[in-house]
Structure 1
Amino acid sequence: MADADNPFKPSLAAALSKLDPEDSQQIMEYFKTHVLMMREKALLQASVREEKKLLVENAKLKKDIAQLKLQLQEKQRRRTAKALFSPAPPPTASPAPKVPVTHLSSSSSSVPPAAGAAAASSSSLDQRERASRRRRGERKARPGSDSLSLGAEPRVDVSRLDIRIGRIISIRRHPLSQTLFVQEVDVGEPAPRTVVSKLGMSPDLEKLRGDLAVLLCNVKPCKVRGVVSQARLLCCSAPDTQIELLAPPSGSAPGDRVTFLSYPGEPDKELQAKERVWERLLPDLQVDVRGVANYKGCSFEVKGKGLCRAPSLTCCPIT
């Protein structure tokens, strides 16, 4: 009878014994060893798959924790700003003692002159004290108003920029300038945006028509030589070199958002000119040695599609 741990049927062992009586035992041992190795391999593969699954879940949890941390910090900043901005409550004056009605209804001749003078003096003192308290209350309220103007400074990083992919539908020279060009760009909205930009002295207009580009979309619309510009084309350039438009990754579509892994915040609806956000971020927008556009080393990325790059330039600023 075959051993209970033998993974093979007794008929196989008997057949091997008949075919090769001398080596049948070694062949059976080889089969057993091979089966055990296959089982161990299957268990190892299952553990590797489980480990990969755990790593993915761990990365997702880390991302969720980072987002919750940012939300908590934002709420703490708002609470701090609210505490700073709320004016101090005005001091409450102590109520004046009520005069009995019987005294008011009595004749003035029944009040002694000394008592009348004392009452008048007390009334004037109360008025002066109330006026003084009002003045003190106004002085206490002023630091609150000053703190409103000095409130906590909002964050200034690249997450405040609404950078999207757009397709150049048409391009023409500006009617009032030889160095400016007017483009109609589809950024995934119902209507294309008009963009006025400086692309050098002699760009190939036909080549640019239909190309994808990277645009800053939450700038305040402004007139440039009589034409309203509603966005900004992001370019890169080097000294004595033709200006190049940043190129989105292959597979991008108009309206795709450019994000930054280390700066997950939401963009402003519209950048305020007085905050000068774009001007303050501009020195840190660069094309690195690999030709990849980045902010402080964090790449311009279209999720699931790739990185934004310069066509041929490296180590140059983004404008």
Structure 2
Amino acid sequence: MRQLLLKMASSLSPEAIQRMKARSDQADTILTQLRNQINLLKAAAVSQSCKGEEDILREQNEKLKNEINQIKTQLVMAEIRNGVRQVALPPKRSMSTSTGEGNTAPPPSTTPAAEPASAPAPGPAKVKKGEKQEKKPEKKEGEAKGKKGKGAAEAEPEKMDVSRLDLRVGKILSAEKHPDADSLYVEDVDVGEEKTRTVVSGLVKHIPLEQMQNRIAVFMCNLKPVKMRGVMSQGMIMCASSPDKVEILEPPPGVQPGDRVTFDGYPGNPDAQLNPKKKVWETLKPDIRTDSNKVANYKGAPFKIEGKGIVKAPTLPDAQIS
């Protein structure tokens, strides 16, 4: 075969050999172009496939975002219905403070400033010969005790009596069972303010729901509001109780929402809000009871609505009030 090719090559003219060489170069160029086009087509196919998957993922991500936003909205509405107060988060503050364009203030130095050297304690003054040393006046014992006694007199003990309780007549405008607690009522109460108050009471087992509607009662209005199974309670209805029975205290006829309960011998204005840490109500509670005549009282002073009468329990004498 090789001899045949050599014989054929020897029989060709130089022009023919040149033409064949040019055609060979042209064929190589065409092959190179074809390879480049094939590579471009492969890359385009891969890119198109990835783009399709990217579009699918982007669409799924957007769908998940919408579902999450809907769940958040439903959660906020449920919290609002249950009395949870919604508080906006404060804007985030930058960790560094700018001192100029492109510059950031360095953190304050934590190295304490050098303290001035303390001066040596002065020794006893030298007395020259012939001079008399002056004596400092001595403090009298009575004067020192007098100043101490004055300071002690100013620190008077805090008053602890029933005048610190804000007890008022209120009218239950409506009552219903707590949505999440079988033993609790949720009441809308008028206590003589611009807005009504929500009061939660554990009276389901003692007072029928129909007897709670439009009822006049006495409420403590300066307890710190507390959340009871998701509902914020802004007061406490006052009841007499025994081991077997609980009764709502009954104000005298003719009272109006907002009428204050007062006590002879205990003047003063109630606290705006009782501090739970000082346990004012817990301290006073043992002395707040009904007497043998079912009259609600504190240490013998009856619950009195000025000019209208006294507050009593329907049937329970000598009973704790809470």
TM-score normalised per structure 2:
0.52
Letter in 2 for 1:233: I
Supply the distance in 1 between the matched residues of 2:284 and 2:119 (Cα, whole angstroms): 63
Question: Which residue of structure 1 aligns with residue 64 of structure 2?
Answer: none
Q: Tell me what 2:292 maps to.
A: 289
Percent identical residues: 47
1:202 shift after superposition: 5.2
Aligned partners of 1:167 and 1:187 also within 8 Å: yes
Alignment-derived partner of residue 254 in structure 1: 257
Q: What is the match of residue 173 of structure 2?
A: 169
Pairwise CA RMSD: 2.3
Equivalent of residue 121 in structure 2, options 105, 113, 125: 125
Q: Distance in 2 between matches of 1:123 and 1:308?
A: 74
Q: Which of 297, 301, 309 is matched with 1:298 structurally?
A: 301
Map Cα deviations across residues 36-89 of structure 1 (whole Å, 9 max, x no partner).
xxxxxxxxxxxxxxxxxxxxxxxxxxxxxxxxxxxxxxxxxxxxxxxxxxxxxx
Match of 1:188 among 188, 192, 203: 192
Who is 1:269 aligned against?
Answer: 272
Q: Summarize deviations over 1:102-143 as a string: whole Å, max 9, x none.
A: xxxxxxxxxxxxxxxxxxxx953359xxxxxxxxxxxxxxxx
Alpha-carbon shift at residue 230 of structure 1 (Å): 0.5
The question of 1:159 aligning with 2:163 is answered yes
Q: Distance in 2 between matches of 1:310 and 1:202?
A: 14
Contact 2:182 2:204 in 1 (8 A): no
1:316 aligned partner, one-letter code = A
Q: Which runs of 4+ in 1 moved over 2 A?
A: 122-127, 150-153
Q: Counterparts of 1:17-166 in structure 2 under 5 Å? A: 123-125=119-121, 151-166=155-170
1:304 counterpart letter in structure 2: G
Question: Which SS does the other structure have where 1:282 is aligned?
Answer: helix
Deviates more, 1:194-203 or 1:268-277: 194-203
Larger helix proportion of the pair: 1
1:159-238 aligned within 5 A = 159-201=163-205, 203-238=207-242
Q: Spell out, residue by residue over 1:230-274, the C-alpha distance to the aligned partner (whole angstroms, 9 max, x if none).
A: 011100111212x11101110000000000011011111110011
Q: Decide whether the 8 Å contact of 1:178 with 1:201 is kept in 2.
A: no
Task: Answer with 1 or 2: which has the greater Rg.
Answer: 2
Q: Distance in 2 between matches of 1:317 and 1:235?
A: 8
Cα distance in 1, alignment partners of residues 219 and 269 from structure 2:
16
CA distance in 1, matches of 2:237, 2:206: 17
Conservation of the 8 A alpha-carbon contact between 2:185 and 2:204: no
Give the aligned residue type for 1:309.
K
Are the counterparts in 2 of residues 165 and 214 from structure 1 also a CA contact under 8 Å? yes
Report the CA distance shift for 1:313/1:163 in structure 2 as closer, same or farther (over 3 A): same
CA distance in 2, matches of 1:251, 1:123: 79
Separation in 2, partners of 1:206, 1:240: 21
1:158-198 C-alpha deviation (Å, 9 max, x unpaired) = 00001000000111111121111111100011111000111
Corresponding residue number in structure 2 for 1:70:
none
User: Which SS does the other structure have where 2:262 is aligned?
Assistant: coil
Whole-angstrom distance in 2 between the partners of 1:248 and 1:309: 7
Maintained 8 Å contact 1:218/1:270 = yes
Aligned equivalents of 2:175 and 2:169: distance in 1?
17
- Unmatched segments (≥5 aa) in structure 1: 1-121, 128-143
Contact kept? 2:166, 2:221, Cα under 8 Å: yes
Q: By how many angstroms is 1:207 displaced?
A: 2.0
Give the C-alpha shift of residue 151 in structure 1: 4.8
Deviations along 1:177-224, one digit per CA (max 9) or x if unpaired, are 111111110001111100011114152211221110000001111111
Partner SS state of residue 283, structure 2: helix
Give the TM-score taking structure 1 as reference length. Answer: 0.53
Which letter maps to 1:125? Answer: A
1:281 Cα deviation after fit: 0.4
Match of 1:135 in 2: none
**Is the CA contact (8 Å cut-off) linking 1:213 and 1:247 kept in structure 2?**
yes
